[in-house]
Amino acid sequence: MTDSNLPLAGKHALVTGGARGIGAACAHALLARGARVTIAARDAGTLTAMQAALASEFGAGSVHVQPLDVTDAEAVRIGFDQAAGHMGRIDILVNNAGQAASAPLLKTDAALWQRMLDVNLGGVFHCTQAALPAMLDAGWGRIVNVASTAGLTGYRYAAAYTAAKHGVVGLTRALALEVATRGVTVNAVCPGYTDTDIVKGAVANIVARTGRTVEQARAELAAGNPQQRLVHSAEVANAVAWLCLAESAAMNGQAIAVAGGEVM
């Protein structure tokens, strides 16, 4: 049973890429603040496992799972309608689903370029279009896009990913101005290198390409953070959850780096 005194009691949040990593941490943080949560991702098995883990702490009725491919606009529309049917109007959207791939620009083929745009930017577009009308009708909503410090600066050997994340930040700012008087806020959280499966993949690539050890590869990624460490998923999730609170209504169109001072 949700505590009605919690700040997000009565709200329904949908988190894409919610089965693991930052997305799962966001789901946990929103549930802890009283929201009902739908976690969406492509892998139904992983979603079900995460639902069981979250339900064991917050109750079976607090978490809904929605298998979903964010690159498919029609699947998003249908999936969001189904989630709203189960859990009520979507009040909070956390656009977290994403992929990362690295390659020098001259070795970035058209398929890789398009995949980075489709997942990291197109997914945000499709999901936002699906959730926004109900928020505007209600006069209240929170959209938080999980971008990256790659959306605020340049990452070498990751032109496609960096371009997509810059697009997410640009979309955030443009939409924030469109809805500024309608009770809906739109913000981005930009993590630095975070200890997730995506970073594990990056570490594996460094090891394969350079022959460095796993420890050396992790240290290389952490070196850009003045705190000399990888960010924790829960630290990103806490920033996301704060932006969803009623008292954060003046936060709009912001791109907040969660990166230990990497970007100032």
List the catalytic residues. Answer: 161
Token couple for 88: 């009520």
Cβ neighbours around 48 below 10 Å, total: 14
Cβ neighbours around 73 below 10 Å, total: 16
Question: Rounded CA gap, 86 and 96, in Å?
Answer: 21
Q: Based on the number of CB atoms within 10 Å of its own CB, is 240 exposed (0-12), middle (13-18) or buried (19 or more)? A: buried
Q: Which residues pair with 187 in a beta bridge?
A: 144
Pairing of strands 92-95, 63-67: unpaired
Q: Which residues pair with 16 in a beta bridge?
A: 40
Question: Rounded CA gap, 247 and 264, in Å?
Answer: 24
